[in-house]
Chain A
Amino acid sequence: MRVGVITFPGTLDDRDAARAVVAGGCEAVSLWHADADLKNVDAVILPGGFSYGDYLRCGAISRFAPVMQSVIEAAGKGMPVLGICNGFQVLCESHLLPGALTRNSDLHFLCRDQEIEIVNNSTPWTSSYKAGEKIVIPLKNGEGSFQCDDKTLAELEGEGRVIARYVGQNPNGSRNLIAGITNAHGNVVGLMPHPEHAIDELTGPSAAGLGFFTSILNAMVK
């Protein structure tokens, strides 16, 4: 099972994401932003970082990278896609996910261990978790406040498309404590906190982030 990890100029977390893919039991395949070839991968991860320096808006320029045209096409055909942090921002700018990520409500760049609740475990990226399971993984971003209009929020909530929520105090002003969402088809997932930094207790706050990467293996084996 081949999981692609895209590197844009300014991506930071591609190596951790690739390591997490391997820890989850899949083969990690490096994909390059300027190359439209997805190299026959079965799923794609857009990792965190500051692609194109976050110029203009986070993810706004990455959206037009050659590789993204292939990702948008493949996502439309059902390929599982996970965007973490900056990757989530790129997915929103690409209109693969609704809404937008805006400046944290208190303006601070947050870097801390954050408890989240997995509220939808029916996606290919969350099936290893129990619905309602709470995990602690790092949150590190300056523009993580999920915003959308009331109609979109009602759709997301009504269709069970919120996949994870922050537990406790709202860290960044996200509507309805939203930490992650999925598209109508359920194959594209965006998540603000970083499961790839929490696959090993030696270096992360827990190993509970690994579930995202074992989920994708299970989804593809089925």
Chain B
Amino acid sequence: MAKIVVDVMLKPEILDPQGNAVASALSRLGFSFAKSVRQGKRFEIEVEGEPTAAQLAEVEKAAEVLLSNPVIENYVVRVEK
């Protein structure tokens, strides 16, 4: 069974207070690797068999109208085996 994954992230210019809070928690815990952190959402959609082009087009549409808010967010649709 294949999975269609939709990753939704705030646009780079939109303030992400949650990501900032995670970044400062990391540094409090002694992790020094993070220059910055952005937090997003991931949707995993199961489909029967291999996703068809038509299904992917439908998921793109759903990502545009429901899963993301294009005013503040970008999304990427991909297939995960």
| A residues in contact with B17, CB < 8 Å | 103-107, 145, 173
Which secondary structure characterizes the binding site on chain A? loop
Contact of A102 among B21, B67, B72 (CB under 8 A): B72
User: Across the A-B interface, how many residue pairs have beta carbons closer than 8 Å?
Assistant: 37
Asked if residues B18 and A147 are in contact (CB atoms below 8 Å), the reply is: no
Q: Using a Cβ–Cβ cut-off of 8 Å, how many residues does chain B contribute to the interface with A?
A: 12
- Segment from A29-37, A93-101, A118-126, A199-207 that makes contact with B: A93-101
| B residues in contact with A64, CB < 8 Å | 66
Q: Does B14 sit within 8 A of A, measured CB to CB?
A: yes
Asked if residues B69 and A147 are in contact (CB atoms below 8 Å), the reply is: no
| A residues in contact with B69, CB < 8 Å | 57, 60, 93, 100
Quick one: which of B8-41 are within 8 Å of A by CB?
Answer: 10, 13-15, 17-18, 21
Q: Does A73 sit within 8 A of B, measured CB to CB?
A: no
Quick one: which of B22-81 are within 8 Å of A by CB?
Answer: 66-67, 69, 71-72
Asked if residues B67 and A56 are in contact (CB atoms below 8 Å), the reply is: yes
Decide: A103 near B18, CB < 8 A? Known: A98-B71, A149-B13. Answer: yes
Q: How far is the CB of A183 from chain B (nearest CB, A)?
A: 15
Asked if residues B66 and A102 are in contact (CB atoms below 8 Å), the reply is: no
- Nearest CB in chain A to that of B72: its residue: A100
Asked if residues B15 and A147 are in contact (CB atoms below 8 Å), the reply is: yes
Contact of A60 among B14, B18, B66 (CB under 8 A): B66
The 8 sampled A-B contact pairs (Cβ below 8 Å) are: A60-B69, A64-B66, A99-B71, A102-B10, A103-B17, A103-B18, A145-B17, A147-B15
Chain B positions near chain A (C-beta within 8 angstroms) = 10, 13-15, 17-18, 21, 66-67, 69, 71-72
Chain A positions near chain B (C-beta within 8 angstroms) = 56-57, 60, 64, 92-93, 98-100, 102-107, 145, 147-149, 173
